[in-house]
């Protein structure tokens, strides 16, 4: 049979012009581009969802989100307290879908901020002064120096902290959304240079009751927040008459899920979506204790956690941490930031030291699970886990 | 950098470029081997071989056959 005509090849499931996969030539010829995906616009409102279709340009590696504006307390402040979902979980969910792959990113703001610190060891929150649970902290807040968590003259809006007085509080937060798993080699990035490409970002904002654990009886609350989105893309160079792209054979996924019913003793959290062709890069989680509307993160210390491990199959347990403090210390060593002391985050990190060696092949690890032994039963306890995975993108040629 | 080199996932992709004329055709493997190239008219070695064959092969063709008293000889040599 004669060779068939090679009509539009497919990259990541969409038709594309003729291109050649050659990372080296791509990196020599490409140009980093940063441009507006969404100009500064008022959000629909707390509890609602804003969406935007991204520009179909180049190779999409990341998104930069800014949320800024004001929150205003009026009337008589009384006992008004910000909850621990403030400020990062003002983003209740951020979802990114690309080329039919729904929810490449589907997680809360705290997950995004924590992963930014984990994936970029240059970031350090040491010395950035923020209030947390009513005390000033200079480490472990996961705050950037550019963050404004809510400031009105000398008063602040801070997690787990009473709001001192009525007034208009300025807010300014930025988040990095990692479309690619690695911002250097762009593995996991998305081919956006096609009219067939469909890139959508949807942000569901937290409700008022989620960010405020208490509002004084005679107090009022209003918000005037805006958001803007910047696309971080790379141009597709033409080398020797052909378009050249990096390795686009995998997608990068970062997704949250929640599980309740926690108690003292060993808690076992099975990871959803485990399957052949997927690699687990990192697993991040924290546990909340306390009834709504004020659940608080449980610090990652030996006082709260006994043994922590991850396991698969019947009882294969490759890594065991004797207690929460040991995992907290390991996380400080690999991430360079204290994830656990304030936000209670724990991290199984398979990608930061040597990914080729350490990443978990989900095709060979059935019933992959996180196991943690809680010293005491949390009140209405629940955990939010975030999985970072790579999986094979649909390809054809 | 390929995903398989960094994360151990994702086979290295084929080129998405236009396929070569024979790519994807039902072509026996030997036809693209070494022997195929030597009989290619585009190969200078082919024509060198042709000249050598004419020069020395003709000499080899020269010979004679004796049938009783008769002798039959033939040669491409013009001398």
Q: Which two tokens stand for residue B17?
A: 């470029």
Looking at the structure, tell me whether residues A50 and A116 fall in a common domain.
Answer: yes
A239 contact residues in B (CB cutoff 8 A): none
Q: What is the pLDDT of residue A27?
A: 96
- Residue A2 domain-assigned? no
Instruction: Tell me how close the Cα of B18 comes to any Cα of chain A, in angstroms.
Output: 6
Which of A10, A27, A183, A185 has the most B C-beta neighbours within 10 Å, making it the best mutation to test the interface with B?
A185
Cα separation of A67 and A147, whole Å? 10
Dihedral (C-alpha) A105, A108, A110, A112: value to the nearest 10 degrees?
A: 10
Q: What is the pTM of this model?
A: 0.83
Whether A329 is in a domain gets the answer yes
pLDDT tens, B6-16?
888 865 555 55
User: How large is the average pLDDT for residues B50-77?
Assistant: 70
B19:A18 CB<8 A: no
pLDDT tens for residues A102-149? 789 999 999 999 999 999 988 999 999 999 999 999 999 999 999 999
Strand-pairing partners, residue A384, are A258, A286
Q: How far apart are CA A47 and CA A204, in angstroms?
A: 6
Pair A221, A202 in one domain: yes
Instruction: Examine the domain organization and report whether A82 and A221 are in the same domain.
Output: yes
User: Does residue A310 share a domain with residue A332?
Assistant: yes
User: Confidence class of residue B17 from pLDDT cuts 50, 70 and 90?
Assistant: low
Q: Are B3 and A187 in contact (CB < 8 Å)?
A: yes
Cβ <8 Å between B25 and A1: yes
pLDDT in tens, A219-252: 999 999 999 999 999 999 998 888 999 999 899 9
State which residues form the domain around A269.
Answer: 251-397
Asked whether the predicted pLDDT for residue A3 surpasses 50, the reply is no
- Same domain flag for A41 and A182: yes
Structure tokens at B28: 């026996």
Q: Which residues of B touch A397 (CB under 8 A)?
A: 13-16
On whether both A167 and A262 belong to a single domain, the answer is no
Domain assignment present for A173: yes
Radius of gyration, alpha carbons of chain B: 27
> Which residues of chain B lie closer than 8 angstroms to A245, CB-CB?
16
| Residue A6 pLDDT grade (very low, low, confident, very high; cuts 50, 70, 90) | very low
Residue B8 lies in a domain: no
Whether B54 is in a domain gets the answer yes
The contact set of B with A (CB < 8 A) is: 1-3, 5-19, 21-26
CB distance A143 to A125 below 8 Å: yes
Same domain membership, residue A243 and residue A259? no
């Amino acid at each position: 049979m004669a060779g068939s005509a090679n009509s539009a090849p497919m990259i990541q499931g969409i038709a594309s012009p003729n291109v050649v996969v050659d990372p080296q030539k791509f990196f020599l010829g490409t140009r980093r581009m940063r441009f507006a995906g969404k100009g500064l616009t008022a959000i629909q409102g707390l509890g609602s969802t804003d969406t935007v279709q991204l520009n179909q340009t180049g190779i999409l590696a990341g998104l930069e989100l800014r949320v800024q504006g004001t929150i205003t307390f009026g009337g008589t402040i009384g006992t008004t307290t910000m909850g621990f979902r403030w400020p990062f979980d003002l983003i209740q969910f951020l979802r990114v879908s690309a080329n039919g792959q729904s929810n490449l990113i589907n997680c809360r703001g705290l997950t995004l901020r924590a992963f930014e610190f984990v994936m970029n060891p240059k970031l350090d929150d040491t010395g950035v002064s923020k209030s947390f649970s009513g005390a000033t902290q200079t480490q472990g807040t996961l705050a950037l120096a550019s963050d404004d968590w809510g400031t009105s003259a000398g008063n602040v809006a801070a997690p787990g902290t009473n709001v001192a007085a009525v007034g208009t509080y300025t807010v300014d937060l930025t988040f990095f959304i990692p479309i690619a798993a690695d911002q250097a080699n762009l593995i996991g990035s998305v081919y956006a240079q096609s009219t067939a490409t469909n890139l959508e970002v949807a942000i569901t904002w937290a409700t008022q009751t989620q960010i405020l654990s208490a509002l004084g009886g005679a107090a009022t609350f209003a918000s005037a927040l805006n958001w803007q989105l910047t696309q971080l893309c790379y141009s597709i160079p033409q080398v020797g008459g052909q378009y050249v792209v990096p390795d686009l054979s995998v997608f990068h996924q970062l997704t949250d899920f929640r599980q309740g019913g926690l108690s003292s003793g060993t808690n076992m959290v099975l990871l959803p979506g485990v399957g052949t062709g997927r690699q687990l890069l990192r697993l991040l989680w924290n546990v909340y204790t306390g009834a709504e509307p004020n659940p608080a993160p449980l610090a990652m210390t030996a006082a709260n956690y006994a043994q922590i491990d991850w396991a698969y199959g019947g009882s294969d347990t490759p890594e065991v941490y004797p207690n929460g403090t040991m995992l907290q210390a390991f996380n400080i060593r690999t991430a360079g930031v204290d994830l656990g002391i304030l936000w209670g985050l724990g991290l199984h990190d398979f990608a930061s030291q040597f990914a080729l060696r350490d990443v978990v092949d989900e095709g060979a690890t059935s019933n992959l699970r996180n196991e943690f032994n809680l010293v005491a039963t949390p009140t209405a306890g629940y955990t939010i886990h975030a999985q970072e995975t790579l999986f094979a993108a649909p390809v054809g040629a | 950098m390929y995903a398989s080199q960094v994360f151990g996932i994702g086979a290295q992709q084929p080129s998405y470029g236009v396929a070569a004329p024979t790519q994807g055709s039902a072509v026996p493997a030997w036809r693209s081997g070494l022997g195929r190239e030597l009989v290619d008219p585009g190969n200078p070695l082919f024509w060198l071989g042709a000249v050598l064959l004419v020069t020395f092969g003709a000499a080899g063709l020269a010979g004679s056959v004796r049938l009783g008293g008769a002798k039959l000889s033939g040669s491409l040599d013009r001398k």
